[in-house]
Amino acid sequence: MTSSSARPARPSDAPATPTPTAAASGRASGKAILLGEHAVVYRRPALAIPLSALQVRADVQRSTGPSILHSALYDGPLAAAPARLGPTAMAAAAALEAVGAGHESIELRIESNLPAERGVGSSAAVAAAVVRAVAAAFGVALDAAAEHELIQRAERVAHVSPSGLDAHAVRAGAPIWFEDGAVSPVAVAAPLTFVIADSGVAGRTREAVAGVRARRDADPTGTTALLDELGELTRDARRHLAAGDARSLGVLMDRGHAALDLLGVGDPVLDELVATARAHSAWGAKLTGGGRGGCILALTRDHDSAADVAGALRAAGAAATWTTTVEATT
């Protein structure tokens, strides 16, 4: 018998199906450390710039059943995600807890064009996008400090003792100065065009940070001198940015690369890319991020020379290059 009734098919005592909500999104961008990586772990300042060409988007839909993750690296229950997605799982769990939805389930989709483990902030950017999407899905506005702490919880899974620089930089959208746990804006007198080149070698931030710590334990005086030098280079870089002196900034980047190499976080592939950028008229170049692989950052003279430098870096074996311009603030 066909019923013409509009009654729902489920028995009246079955639990109501939650009203499906539209997916809520969160975004964050990549970053490059201009100067101060590693030294920032020891309370020296650091400068970072946004890489707006590199973006992560997370979409969260409230759901029933186990939480699910859809991503290029893994598709399946969040609880069974591989260890390398531990920071992502932590970001989702911490954000759900923070918005009072610790027992709720979500369907999480991540789209990203940031290469992972290349020192451009992939783990922090994914965590930031996830935290923002979860908060939006549950209609909770998190303030900047709460957002930062949730990203840091994910970063601690990735790096054990992150300085907090990445967690700020991937949300900033502008150059930042980071010192003593606080961020402030950076004055830039003239636009600067940077090329970032991916060596194709996975960076190993965790091991690199542990290596610097071991070096400091074995040689406190020598290591402290290098950390101090990196701190001074970073302070000088802020002055050159404010004065619009790209040539002097490039010299500092070269010196930063040499100091990072002495700290033990260099790699011959990075050295080759840095030398290539310099040979093609870059004002300066250095490794960026944790090192031992990952990316280099080159400061170029202008857009035309940036195209030359990027082409030369790809010809020298870079897996990918991105060009970004930091606009003047004054």
Q: Which amino acid is at 62?
A: R
Between residues 121 and 137, which has the closer beta carbon with respect to ligand PMV? Answer: 121
Q: What angle do CA 68, 73, 79 make, to 5 degrees?
A: 35
Give, as ranges, the residues between 39 and 58 that touch ligand PMV (CB under 6 A).
Answer: 40-41
Token code pair at residue 218: 């074995």
Figure out which of the listed residues 51, 209, 249, 297 binds ligand PMV, where binding follows CB under 6 A.
Answer: 209
Q: What is the three-class DSSP state of 143?
A: coil
- Whose Cβ is closer to ligand PMV: residue 37's or residue 179's? 37
Nearest approach in angstroms of CB 316 to ligand PMV is 22
Give the interface segment with ligand PMV, choosing from 17-25, 64-72, 163-171, 231-239 (CB under 6 A): 163-171
As measured in angstroms, the least distance from the Cβ of 276 to ligand PMV is: 21
Question: Are residues 170 and 128 in contact, defined by beta-carbon separation less than 8 angstroms?
Answer: yes
Which segments of the chain does DSSP mark as H helices, in order?
Answer: 86-98, 122-137, 144-159, 165-172, 205-218, 220-243, 246-263, 268-279, 303-315
Q: What is the DSSP string of 211-241?
A: HHHHHHHH-HHHHHHHHHHHHHHHHHHHHHH
Joined together, the tokens standing for residue 163 give 């300085």
Applying CB under 6 A, which of residues 119, 231, 256, 284 lies at the interface with ligand PMV? Answer: 119
**What is the contact mask toward ligand PMV in residues 270 to 309, using x (rule: CB under 6 A)?**
-------------------xx-------------------
Q: In a 10 Å sphere around its CB, with 0-12 CB exposed, 13-18 middle and 19+ buried, how is residue 12 labelled? A: exposed
Over the window 216 to 245, marking each residue x when it contacts ligand PMV by CB under 6 A and - when it does not, the resulting string is: ------------------------------
Residue 254 binding ligand PMV, by CB under 6 A: no
> Which chain residues interact with ligand PMV by CB under 6 A?
37-38, 40-41, 119, 121, 159, 162-163, 165-166, 203, 205, 209, 289-290
